[in-house]
Amino acid sequence: MFRIDRRLLQSFDWFLLALVALLLAVGFANLWSATYAGVESGLPWPVRRQLFALALGGVGMLSVLFADYRHFERLTLPFYLGVLVLLGITLLLAPVTRGNRSWLVLGTLRFQPSELAKLALVLCLARFFYRNPPQHIHRLRDLAWPALFIAAPVGLIVLQRDMGVALLLLFVGATYFLLVRIPLRAWIPVVVAALFALAGAWRFALRPYQRSRILDVLDPARDPLASGYQALQSRIAVGSGGLFGQGYLEGTQTQLRFLPTQHTDFIFSVLAEEWGFIGCLVVLAVYLILLVWGLLIARSSKDGFGALLAVGVVGMFFWPAAINIAMVLGLAPVIGVPLPLFSYGGSSLLVSFLALGLLFNVSMRRYVF
């Protein structure tokens, strides 16, 4: 099983690798631009750390790649439970960083277990739906277990006060619900309950700044200097890109730091300002191809577990990208969700690579059976 034969190497998904490499290259160039201002020599520290995470991610990806993914099925539950424990520990031990407790600090290494939770959840749900094929699920109550699997890490992350990642995890998990065959009318009570939950959350759980951010989407001119500042500056940055952009390293919004978190959450506005409409369309197209390619892998996989894993990995890339870009473009409230392969963030990059490793794994073994 651990032997790498010629057949596997031949069926390695070079196209997927090319897509990932392309996005990574653009992502690093963009991160450089977002952070190099004021650096006199050498690499800006975010780029340095990101390169370190890339190396780590590369090793992780390769190790995920060589073992047949089907072995992971057995490891799924322990991994999932382990991540839950890690989240619990984080909640108890982590220092408060920017209002939330989502970082585990080990010496100079800092890690966000909530990123790992995405992977654990995808593996866990893939296993569940592999055993309970979604095309045979017709009743809502059959989704009780997956709902619980989703709720557990989401709940812990909500307690960490990292609303963005909690929401993201909810969406990533719910990806699998798109595959079940429950009639639409059966969802009505769920939707009603969700609406009540949202209303309740608005009233009791959301903090004032979070409410402001949501209102700012509806009315961008509401509070341009305080809660709407980031969103406004982001829109200005994106718009000032025009058709061809201001040029690489030339974006004034970026280089003069009018965007507060431009190297993390607002990285896409850097791209938009400096590369313009054309550059954005190219990157969006590559991203789109990557996602569709992932779905094609899922469809062509001869193995149900592999297909479900591939769908989960697509979800892990689609949802953060959609939420992040919608936020940058002023279509969604300001939520701290990184753009995979672009935003600065070691944990995110590492987990993205592990997920891609799974995708490669499924892709190269789809003809094996």
Q: Which amino acid is at 233?
A: Q
- Helix 113-131 with 163-174: angle, nearest 10 deg: 20
Q: Which residues bind other proteins (CB under 8 A)?
A: 70, 129-131, 133-135, 178-179, 233, 235-243, 252-253, 256-258, 272-273, 276-277, 280-281, 284, 287-288, 291-292, 295, 298-299, 301-305, 307-308, 311, 314, 318, 322, 325-326, 329-331, 369
Nearest approach, Cβ of residue 173 and other proteins (Å): 15
Helices (H), the chain: 6-10, 14-35, 45-66, 72-93, 113-131, 144-159, 163-174, 188-200, 208-218, 229-240, 252-255, 267-300, 304-328, 346-364
Closest CA to 335 of 100, 113, 167: 167
Question: End-to-end CA distance of the chain, in Å?
Answer: 13
Nearest approach, Cβ of residue 300 and other proteins (Å): 9
Are the C-beta atoms of 101 and 91 separated by less than 8 Å? yes
Distance of CA 368 to the CA centre of its chain: 29
In this complex, which beta carbon is closest to other proteins, that of residue 133 or of residue 183? 133
In this complex, which beta carbon is closest to other proteins, that of residue 11 or of residue 252? 252
In this complex, which beta carbon is closest to other proteins, that of residue 56 or of residue 329? 329
In this complex, which beta carbon is closest to other proteins, that of residue 156 or of residue 237? 237
Nearest approach, Cβ of residue 70 and other proteins (Å): 7
Closest CA to 308 of 364, 359, 365, 352: 359
In this complex, which beta carbon is closest to other proteins, that of residue 73 or of residue 159? 73
In this complex, which beta carbon is closest to other proteins, that of residue 52 or of residue 142? 142
Structure letter (DSSP) for residue 69? G
